[in-house]
Structures are given as C-alpha cells and as structure tokens.
Structure 1
Amino acid sequence: MKKQKANLLKAATPLLCTALLFGCSNNKEEETESSSDPAVSQAESLSTIGNQEIASVISKKVSYDDEDFYTKWKNATSIKLNGDSASFKGDGAVVIDGSSITIRAAGVYEISGKLNDGQIIVDAEDDGHVRLVLNEAEINSSSSAPIFVQNAGKTVISLEDDTKNVLSDGDNYVYEKSDDDEPNAALFSKDDLTINGSGTLVVNGNFNDGITSKDELKITGGTIQIESVDDGIIGRDLLAVKEGNIQINAGGDGIKSTNDKDADKALIAIEDGTFNIEATNDGIQAETTLLVANGKFDITTGGGSPETIETNENNPMSPFETPTTTSTETNKDSAKGLKAAVEVAIGGGNFTLNSLDDAVHSNNSITITGGSMNVASGDDGIHADQSLLIKGGDINVTKSYEGLESKSITIADGKIRVDAADDGINIGGGNDSSGRDFAATENSEDNLLSISGGLIYVNAAGDGLDSNGSIAMTDGTVIVSGPTNNFNGALDYDQSFEQSGGFLIATGSSGMAMPTSDTSSQYAILMTYPEIQKAGTLLHLEDDKGNTIATFAPEKDYQTAVISSPELAKDTSYTLSSGGTASGTETNGLYSDGSYQNGTSVVQFTIADTITWLDETGVTEAQPMGPGGMGGPGGKMGGPNGGAPGNREDMFSDLDEETREKLQNIMEQQMNGTITQEEAQAQLKELGIEFPTGGPMGGGPEGAPSGGPTGDKGKEPVQP
C-alpha cells in the first residue's frame, strides 16, 4: 500500500482550460474572501463561480428591463381571431391575409379569439419591442409555428391575468425552400423573447419543439404547460427564469440552451419558480453553465431510475472493469436530470430528481451550497468529471449506481446520505468512469476526496469511500455501512487516507478492509470479528473511565469496523462490546446523548500506535498484502489473518501493460469457463506470476477468489 501524503493544492488552471467551451481567461467574476481550507480553495478555483453566492452571480450575468415584467397595458391594437380569418382595431401595423396575420411594427397588440389554422408572424421593420398580449387566444397551425417571430428588437408575450391561451402546431411543417429548417417550434423567435404575466400558456409542439428563442429567452411569470415531440423550451444564448410555473412533457430535453460556439453564452439561470418536467432525454441541460438560486423542481428523465441497478459487485474481475463512458459529449441519448458542459451550481431550491442516467452531471465542475435534493438515478447520483464541491444543503441519494463521483470531491458542510449499488463516494477519472481503469489511476495524485465538515452517511454495496488517489479528513462526521461481499471494502484508497479530525465509523466485509493511514495524526482502530455480525447488532466502544466513544447499529451485516475519533488517545485502554441495547438520539445508526446496556465485551485493548488492529484475541499486527490474501475470514485481503489491507491495483502495480493485459485475458477466460483453473495457473506461471493454490479464481470454503483452499496468507507474486 502506498503511503503518500495527499497534495491538496494542485494546479487548477490546466484542468479548467480543458473543460468544454471554457477557455483560459481572466473573466471570472470578482470573488469574496477565499476559504481558509486549501481543499475548498482548490475546488473553488476549478469552478467558474469561485466562492460567490449563486444568486449574486446570476444578478451579474442576467439583466432584466421594465418590459420583461408584466404591466397593465393600454392603447393596444386589438387583433380578433375569428376562426378562419381575423380583424384588428388600432394604430398598429397589421397585415391580414386570410388566416395569416403579420405584425410589421413595434407596439402593443392584444390577441383574442380562435384561429383554426393560421399564424401570427412578427416581422417588425424597426428595432423596437413588440408586445403580444394573449387574452384568451387559441392559435392552431397545421403547417408552421402558430407564433413566428421573424424580426424584432425583442418580443414580449404577456399572459393576461386569469386567461388560458393555447398554441398548437401540426406534425409536418411546410417550408418555402427545401433547405429551410426554421421555424421548428410552436412558439419560435429568431430574436430575444420574454414571457411574462400571470395567465396560462398551453403549448402543443406536435412537430418538434415547444418554445424556442434563437437569442435570449426570459421567463418572469405565468403558467406554461408544454407537450412536445422533441425539446420543451430552448434559449440558444440564454435561458433565464425569474419566476413561473413550468410544466413540460418532452420527447427530447425538457429545458436547454444550445449555443456551442461562444463560451460566454448558453447560460441557464434560474432564480425561482416551479418546474415539473418529464423528459425522454435530459431534464435541464446547459451547453455551458447551469445556475440555480432557488425554486422547486420535480424532474423525471428516461422514464426514471430502473427498479434494479445492475452492478459488478459479485464479479471477481472488478480490478479489470472497463469504465462506462456516458459523457455529455458522446451520448446522444443522455437522460440526465440536471446537466451542464462547464458547471452546475446550486445555491438553493427543492429538487426531486428521478433519472435513468446521472441525476446531476457536469463535464467539468459542480458546486452545491444549499438546497434540498432527493435523487434516484440509474447511474450516478451526482457526477462531475473534474470537481465536485459541496458547502451546504441536504442531499439524499436514494438510489444510484455510484452516489457521488468526480476526480476531486470536496465536502465542507451539508447533510449527505448516499445509497449506492456500487461505490458510495468514488474518486476516479472523468467522463463518467465507474469502473477500474489503470490508465486513469496513473496520475492519481490529483484524485482527492477531502472532508472538512458536514454529516455524511454512505450505504454502499460496493466500496463505501473509494479513491483512486487519496482521502483527507479534518472535520465532520462520516458513517459508512459498507459492502457485505469480499470484493469491496468500506474504505478503499490508492495512496493515503490521512485523518486529523472529525469522526469516522465504517463497517463492512473483511475481504478488502482498510483503516485510515498510519500517517494520520488521529488514532483509529480496525476490528475484525471472527464471524459475520448481523445487521443491527450494536457495537459499542468506550474508554477505561466508561466514556462512550461510539455506539453504532450498522444497517447491514458486517465483519469489520473502523473507528477514528478525536476521543481516542495513546496509552489509553478501551473496551469494544457487541449486542445489547442503546438509548438516546439515533442518526443513521449512530447513537448520541444516551446510554448503552447489556452488551457483551468482545475485546479489551490499549492504543499504542496510530492504527490499532484488533480481533477477538486483542491487538494484532498487520502483514504485507499479497494476492493470496484475498479470502474469507481465514485468508482475506487485509486484516490480521490475511495480510494488511491494500488497494486491489497493488496486486498488479509492478506489471507492465502487456503482461497486465495477458493476466486480464487469462482471468476472464477462467471466469467464462473456457479454460480450467489448472490451465489458468499454468499460463500465469509462464508469465512469471505465481498465485497460491486455488489459482486466480480459486478459494476454499472460507476463502474468496485468490485465496488458497484454507485462505492462505498473502503470498507475494513473482514479478516478471
């Protein structure tokens, strides 16, 4: 196992410069005082917003003028729709040709009545603003957009109080030229578009999209209900929502920005509002940055998360898993809840996200400073290719393949609960890499999970905290209910897990059990029980004066427990008990402010070293790990009976790429049954790799794969 101090301050600029559409510049907004936590400062440097309040960032990037907000209108030109024709009164420039109505000048136009098959066209000869007041209007068009803004300085759609207005198109548009592709939405504007008021707008986009602006689209009020064959709402350069009640059922994306040519555009900025979105693809997708200050969001994508998430937890080939890549850049069928190419930043709001793909995703960074999130995902709960920073909020990932995933994750505050079918919190390479990737871990010094505050609970079928790099913890509370299979561990890291503060308790199986690093400044214990302990069985640790260090009821079966606490001290005696009952306040299985009774003493010991290894006989010594150490209680990877724990890649770290590929192929063949165990061992011996009896996929009654018939201790491989 590598014991290498994590470098908390890596160069941020190269990472940021490689983010899609985000070039190196000095355009970052002026920031407030930097955090005193170096890991937080680093995460902020990878973000486009730094350490600013998200509402403040929106106010700097999005401006509204008076006409963007609804005001009482007067001196309007009145357009009355009469089935197959229309009429108008007033001074506005209106041209009526059967059921086609063209507005040729700036001004206020009130529209009422029903148009059976026609169109409102805005083609202003000046650069003024055109305001369309929809006052119980219904406009149907079988062959084009019911409202088509061809030219205007800005068009404002005002939804009159207590009115219902309907726009519906047909399923086939007729264009003047064969190469035309605009309009392609029931409400389509080539210029800036604003929707305001307190009435209702129903949009039936039967051809393609619901509402599209080729420039900026702003919504400051109203109820908007959209059914669309493809996307619901598109703002090419900007999509800003100040307030409103938005309901979308989309065959494509729910809400999106699309300008992929200008890094300063394609922003989605939401200050408030209510959003109910059901989309076949992404719920809200920004080509650059998605900023959310507040609001209520209920978003389902791709039909929602599957009932069962497939995992590789019982696959002994887990060291060789091929990473799953479903990044924004390559997957056209993306079904993510919230997504951005550069950054997702959330400062508040209430989110219910149910997604087939990642619930929250960024190709670069994610910043969460507040809000409440309930997440069910068929893939990752929250995924950022480069950096995930959590400084507050209440995050509950109820279902996921992996709960939180990024190359760098920094948790400074907040309440987080993660339920994962694989790893709970995973530090790995970008592009949604969920599996093991040797190439991605070569530069793993950049990979860091940093915890400096908050309450974190992880329930993982795979690794609880998994870093293809390092873990650093200085404060906060972390509770891990880890795996029950021996191919994963409650804690798993490549380099080091240095803890200098905070409270950690992690329970799980014994096969991959790891404690914190012995370079930590805070003491820890790792207890291995002789038998599997049933879920809910209390473990209680107290000092020789009867002071409670921890009382915990794990959610799942367990055979090992790691406890690190500021209350642990050198040359102090402790008693670890099992069973019994506890009273007091219980949070995720951890009890406080209560008492413990009727337990059975399992082991008494005195702390002498940073890490104290325990079994029922008392303090033991860890031994170097070898591939033969993977096994059950008699021969596991790690622990006093089978070698010190270490990362799975340590077994193969000295192999060159060609040999590693051959090793993988042999193990896959044996797993698939195309060669026998004896044949696999013979081929491995030719490579210069000697596994103990039982072979790479062997193992006796109490030994998982790679352990001998009785679970041999770790025998070091013969390197080529």
Structure 2
Amino acid sequence: MRISRLLTIMLAAAASLTAYGQSIRISEAGVTYVHSSANTGDMTFNGSVLNVEGRQYLLTPQTSMTVTADGVDDNTVSVTYNGTQAEVVVAGNIARYLTVNANGADVSILAAPELQQSVEYTLRGTSADGSFYMDGEYAATVILDNLTLTNADSAAINIQDGKLITINLVGQSTIADAQGMANSACLYVNGHAKFTGAGTLNVTGNAKHGITGDEHLIIEGGTINVNAVGDGLHVSEYFKQTGGSLTVNAQGDGVDIGFKGVNKGTKDQYADNGFAFLEGGTMDVTTTGEATRGVKADSTILVAGITATVRTTGNACYDATKNDISSAAAIKTGGAFSMTSGTLTLSSTGSAGKGINATDNITLAGGKLDVVTTGAVYVYGAEDSKPHGVKTDADINISGGTILVAASGDSGSAFKTDYYFTISGGTVMAVGGKASKPTSATQKYYTYTGVSVTPGQTLSYNGVSATMPDNYSVASGKVLVSSPTM
C-alpha cells in the first residue's frame, strides 16, 4: 500500500512539475535528491523502481517524495551538519553519477568516472563527530560556509579526487581531528588544492599535519590558521601563495614542500617540482620542534611580493639516519633561494639555528630582508653546527634590496659560504660573531670589528643605519656595510 501511494504521489508530482515549474524531492537513506521540472522529462516506473533523470530509486516504505517550489542549482551538493546527523541534498541533474552515504554525521560521496563536469560541494553546520569524504575524476569546488567539524577517528575532510579542488572560504570555519589517530592530516587533498574566498579557516591537526596537499597547493585568498603536532602544511609537487593570509604554529615544519616523483633532485615529470613560490599575501609561521624549518622546499624557493614572518625556536639535534647534525632554519631549501621583492622577517633562536639555509645559490635582488639568529653552537662529538644568518653550499649574490642580518655572537656568521660571495647593489648591514666579507664587489663596502651591540641599538656606518632586533646582542661583533651611495 505504501508503494502504491508513492506511485500516486509521483504521478501527481509529474503533472505539478510540468504545470508550475516546481521540483520533486526524493529522500532515501538520509539523502535528498532534488529534480527540477526543467530537467526531469519522462519519469518511468517499473515495479518498485522509479527512474528520474537517469537515477533509479527503489521505492520502499522508507522512501519519501514531495513536490516543492524550492529547487537547487544544477551541479551542486550541500551537506549540513547538525550534531550527530548530516543532511545531504543533491541536484537531480548529477544524481545518477553520485554514490552518497550519510552515516550519522559521516558523509562520503563517490563520483562515477562518467561525471565529466565540475560539482560544487557546500559544507556547513556543526558536528563534534563527523567527517566529509569525496572521490571522483573531475575538478570540483568545495565551499566551507561557517562549518565547524571535528572527526574523532580520522581526517575531518578527506578529498581523494586527483584533479583541481578549489576550496572557497565563506564566513568562519573550524575543523579538527583527534589525537593518536593514523590519519596524516586534518584536511587532506589528493589533487591540486587552491584556496580562495574572503572567509577564515581554522585547522587543528591533532594527529599529525594540519593540511596535506598530495599535489600542488595554492593560496589565492582567505585567512588560514593552522595548528599542528606535525607540519602545518605538508605539500607535494609545489606550493604557491599569491594572496590571503596564512598563520601556522607547528611542532613539525611550518610549510613543507616535498619532491613528487622518483628522481629526486630533478624536475622529473612535474613542472616546478619541490618549489615554493611566495608571491603575495601575508604569512606568519612559528615552529617549535627540534631541527624544524619554517618554510622548507626540496628544490627552490622564490620570493617575489609576500610579507612573511618566520621564526623557529627548536634546537639542533643529531640525525642518526643521516649521520649528521640537523638544525632548525626559518627558510630551508634543497636548491636555490631567490628574492626579488616582498618582505621577509626571519628568526631562529635555538642552538645552531639558521635564517636561510640553502644548498644552491642564494640571490638577493630586491625587497626587504631581516634575519636574526641568537642560538649557541651545537656540538655532537667531534662535530658542530653554528648559528649562521644566511648560509649556502654554493654562492651568495647580492644585487639589490634592503638587508639586515644579525647572526649569533656564538660563532655565527651573517653570510656563510665556502664559495663566492658578491655584492653589486643593495643596502646591506651584516653583524655576527664571525666576520662576513665579500670575495668580490662592484659596490663599495666596509668592515668593522670589536663592535658591542645591545638589544634595540641603532648602528650607523657610512650612511647605513639599522636597528638591531630586541633579542640580539654581541660583545665583540664583526660588521659589514654596503650601499649604492658609498
């Protein structure tokens, strides 16, 4: 009798849809599918199966159908969390492509390979024990609209779609996972993640990382605040920030960009593999763990427009797997470092900490760079590591910008390289426990020794003035200054 009544309702609904341009809402297993009159066409019924827009509905006593004047936009899915439950609403034109499961407040959506159009998923509401999982083979947009979501046993949001995922931030959203779980991140994206919008996202990674991007990750807008027991952002392939605001407090690395592929040290099949592009917006990163890095890239870091403050407080340690000392660094790159514009304020206060630590050439051509290291020398057996300001295993080339580097009086050099150190432009003041002197220069420079520096003191030499950081002092410092006006 129940199915017969449903069939009667369905037939009446079809007429109503055609006559008044309304929608039919079909609910089953906690999910509602909304079919509009513009799309339904003929609805066929075979026994207990109703076919609407290519999706088959098994009419059971648990199935409900209503006619409503309220429709939804095509290509959309909305998930509204309410405590221990979640309400899922799916646009009828994509219903046949999606397998949706709502188990309490845990929602999973699998898109069939045949779905070759972008879907917009909106997540809103509140749950202290819920999650969102999505997989597919086409680009998608995920809107976080004033969402508060905690998952007690895995990632709060897990997106396995390997394509471009645009995460649009609306209002203020907060997500978290739980301690002691096996998931690698609170927000995990297996694909190309891009953050946009004007909203705020607060992420707490209690299990490990805050946000993981298994391919490249881009921040174009929004305010993103991350706290994590592991890395704040853990990214494969490359990272780019062109706008928005990123704040990270991490016990691991702040922003860790790995190399995706098998041939580490080359670009492999991925463009810009292992790169970090810091091009705009603001960044504030703090790391506290031993030998952690504020911003770390396996290949190259390019700075062109961002305003960033990066600080590390952890001490160095001996890495038994590498048989070497590993130290903290505000900036660490496995390749080159280049700065053409923007503002970087870097500090490292732990033993043997570095401001910038590179493997390939360091090029400073513009922008404003302030670096301070205040830690002691780290000693392990017959080996040691010193708290240098700017260090590389290759060349250092300064051609522009305004640069202040204050390296620890405990044997720290402002600029440290065993290769070429050249100055051809820029305004430079470098102070350290050890001297820094160019191997060649086309711009005049001067050096001074035995300089006593106290916190907040302003030093002036040859027309170059700089105020020392409030946490920096040295009893007998070595000073290097250079500018175009000398």
After TM superposition, the score normalised by the length of structure 2 is: 0.66
Confirm or deny that 1:97 pairs with 2:103: yes
Tell me how far 1:244 sits from its aligned partner.
Answer: 1.3
Partner of 2:360: 364
- Aligned partner (choices 282, 293, 312) of residue 274 of structure 1: 282
Tell me how far 1:225 sits from its aligned partner.
Answer: 0.2
Contact 1:304–1:354 under 8 Å retained in 2: no
Counterpart-to-counterpart distance in 1, 2:191 and 2:391: 34
- Aligned partner (choices 309, 330, 333) of residue 337 of structure 1: 330
Read off the aligned partner of 1:452 and give its amino acid letter: T
Larger strand share, 1 or 2: 2
Tell me how far 1:398 sits from its aligned partner.
Answer: 2.6
Confirm or deny that 1:387 pairs with 2:380: no
Which stretches in structure 2 are left out of the alignment for 5+ residues?
1-71, 112-117, 268-272, 376-386, 453-458, 465-473
Partner of 2:247: 247
Partner of 1:232: 232
User: 4+ residue runs of structure 1 moved beyond 6 angstroms?
Assistant: 587-590
Percent of pairs with identical residues: 25
Read off the aligned partner of 2:225 and give its amino acid letter: Q
Confirm or deny that 1:479 pairs with 2:446: yes
Say which structure, 1 or 2, has more relative contact order (CA 8 Å, 6+ apart): 1
Confirm or deny that 1:450 pairs with 2:443: no
Equivalences for 1:70-469 in 2 at 5 Å?
Answer: 75=74, 76-91=76-91, 93=98, 94-105=100-111, 106-124=118-136, 127-160=137-170, 163-174=171-182, 183-259=183-259, 261-262=262-263, 263-264=266-267, 265-280=273-288, 281-302=292-313, 333-355=326-348, 356=350, 357-377=353-373, 378=375, 379-400=387-408, 401-406=412-417, 407-425=419-437, 449-453=439-443
Relative to structure 1, the CA distance from residue 221 to residue 74 in structure 2 (aligned partners, 3 Å threshold; closer, same or farther) is farther
Tell me how far 1:588 sits from its aligned partner.
Answer: 7.6
Tell me how far 1:204 sits from its aligned partner.
Answer: 0.4
Counterpart-to-counterpart distance in 1, 2:325 and 2:247: 24
Relative to structure 1, the CA distance from residue 231 to residue 589 in structure 2 (aligned partners, 3 Å threshold; closer, same or farther) is closer
Q: Deviations over 1:38-84 (max 9, x none)?
A: xxxxxxxxxxxxxxxxxxxxxxxxxxxxxxxxxxx964322111111
Equivalences for 1:20-35 in 2 at 5 Å?
Answer: none
Contact 2:287–2:311 under 8 Å retained in 1: yes
Tell me how far 1:153 sits from its aligned partner.
Answer: 2.0
Contact 2:428–2:482 under 8 Å retained in 1: no
Aligned length: 351
Contact 2:398–2:425 under 8 Å retained in 1: yes
Which stretches in structure 1 are left out of the alignment for 5+ residues?
1-72, 175-182, 306-323, 426-447, 454-475, 486-535, 539-549, 559-586, 594-720
Contact 1:95–1:102 under 8 Å retained in 2: yes
Tell me how far 1:331 sits from its aligned partner.
Answer: 5.5
Contact 1:256–1:268 under 8 Å retained in 2: no
Relative to structure 1, the CA distance from residue 78 to residue 118 in structure 2 (aligned partners, 3 Å threshold; closer, same or farther) is same
Counterpart-to-counterpart distance in 1, 2:306 and 2:475: 40
After TM superposition, the score normalised by the length of structure 1 is: 0.46
Tell me how far 1:399 sits from its aligned partner.
Answer: 3.3
Q: Deviations over 1:205-235 (max 9, x none)?
A: 0111010111111111110000000100121
Q: Deviations over 1:445-497 (max 9, x none)?
A: xxx711112xxxxxxxxxxxxxxxxxxxxxx2x22211489xxxxxxxxxxxx
Counterpart-to-counterpart distance in 1, 2:165 and 2:110: 12
Read off the aligned partner of 2:447 and give its amino acid letter: V
Read off the aligned partner of 1:154 and give its amino acid letter: L
Contact 2:83–2:128 under 8 Å retained in 1: yes
Counterpart-to-counterpart distance in 1, 2:234 and 2:277: 13
Structure possessing the higher radius of gyration over alpha carbons: 1
Read off the aligned partner of 2:334 and give its amino acid letter: A
Relative to structure 1, the CA distance from residue 139 to residue 331 in structure 2 (aligned partners, 3 Å threshold; closer, same or farther) is farther
Equivalences for 1:593-672 in 2 at 5 Å?
Answer: none
Relative to structure 1, the CA distance from residue 330 to residue 367 in structure 2 (aligned partners, 3 Å threshold; closer, same or farther) is farther
Tell me how far 1:330 sits from its aligned partner.
Answer: 6.2
Contact 1:130–1:152 under 8 Å retained in 2: no
Read off the aligned partner of 2:243 and give its amino acid letter: E
Relative to structure 1, the CA distance from residue 172 to residue 78 in structure 2 (aligned partners, 3 Å threshold; closer, same or farther) is same
Contact 1:343–1:362 under 8 Å retained in 2: yes
Relative to structure 1, the CA distance from residue 277 to residue 332 in structure 2 (aligned partners, 3 Å threshold; closer, same or farther) is farther
